[in-house]
Copies of this chain bind each other. A is one copy, B any other.
Amino acid sequence: MPRKHLLLSTSRTRDTGYLEHAAAGVQWLLGGERRRIVFIPYAAVRFSYDDYEEMVAGGLAAYDVEGIHRFEDPLRAVEDADAICVGGGNTFKLVHDLHALGLMDPIREKAMAGAPYLGWSAGANIASPRLCTTNDMPIIEPASFETLGLIRAQINPHYHDTHPDGHMGETREERIQEFMLLHPKVPVVGLREGAWLQVEDQKATLQGSAGARLFSGDAPPRDLDSGTDLSRYLGPGADDR
């Protein structure tokens, strides 16, 4: 079965309910069939896994959503599910837990074998080869920065151009340029709030609202509109880990 991933910048925009803005993407990914989705809440730090599961189940009411934290054997939960859903929060916490529980490889294999993969924020970031383009604070040290590598590019979720007045830290674009200097072969897609990527087999397109900013090699960064074909940046394989 060809792989199929839906990678969202965020779980909600300012004016919409949980996963509501991406309903068309969810329909594209999961269709009308009532599927069993295993939800991975490990990115949560400031709220409980139970509360997180409830919120996500509400946003995906047409499907059977169950948190992986309810299973005695999390590996089995991944194997038995029809689809995988990974929520946002803190990427370091998520990657720490996935490595600690030995789930990174099984999730990668399952998703590459065709089980629909839905991720937002941290859950979209880890579809990249490494966590290197997260915006999150490194509150815990994971065993490795290596992530799922479902796509060749790095995703930067919550991309924006604004910069707090009087703040002397780096802009988002400057941070991503730092990454590009150390990893010139790896493209970065900065997903703006409301945008998402749809990946199917060898094809990837930008969807949703707000668009994205693409950083690739020596080319100047450029803004992309919804509908842009990103297959050449998002094809499978992480060739410059």
Considering the complex, which residues of chain A in the window 6-27 have a beta carbon less than 8 Å from any beta carbon of chain B?
10-14
CB distance from A26 to the nearest CB of B (A): 17
A135 CB–B CB distance under 8 Å: yes
Number of copies: 2
CB distance from A213 to the nearest CB of B (A): 15
Given contacts A46-B178, A131-B138, A177-B46, contact A158 B167 (CB under 8 A): yes
Query: Which residue of the partner chain B has the closest CB to A92?
Result: B138
A165 CB–B CB distance under 8 Å: yes
Considering the complex, which residues of chain A in the window 116-148 have a beta carbon less than 8 Å from any beta carbon of chain B?
121, 130-141, 144-145
A169 CB–B CB distance under 8 Å: yes
A182 CB–B CB distance under 8 Å: yes
Which residues from chain B contact A66 at a C-beta distance below 8 Å? none
Contact B136 A132, beta carbon cutoff 8 Å: no
Contact B138 A166, beta carbon cutoff 8 Å: no
Query: Which residue of the partner chain B has the closest CB to A139?
Result: B179
Which residues from chain B contact A185 at a C-beta distance below 8 Å? none
Considering the complex, which residues of chain A in the window 166-187 have a beta carbon less than 8 Å from any beta carbon of chain B?
166-170, 174-179, 181-183
Which residues from chain B contact A10 at a C-beta distance below 8 Å? 168-169
Measured in the bound complex, the distance between the Cα atoms of B90 and A199 in whole Å is: 32
A160 CB–B CB distance under 8 Å: yes
**B-contact 0/1 string along A38-80, CB 8 Å cutoff:** 0000000110000000000000000000000000000000000
Contact of A193 among B133, B166, B177 (CB under 8 A): B166
Given contacts A14-B166, A166-B193, A193-B166, contact A137 B175 (CB under 8 A): yes
Which residues from chain B contact A144 at a C-beta distance below 8 Å? 141
Contact B132 A179, beta carbon cutoff 8 Å: no
Residue picked from A139, A158, A182, most chain B C-beta under 10 Å = A139
Which residues from chain B contact A193 at a C-beta distance below 8 Å? 166-168
Contact B132 A139, beta carbon cutoff 8 Å: yes
Measured in the bound complex, the distance between the Cα atoms of B132 and A93 in whole Å is: 12
Contact A45 B178, beta carbon cutoff 8 Å: yes
CB distance from A33 to the nearest CB of B (A): 30
6 other contacts beyond A12-B168, A138-B145, with CB at 8 A cut-off? A10-B168, A14-B168, A132-B141, A135-B137, A137-B179, A139-B182
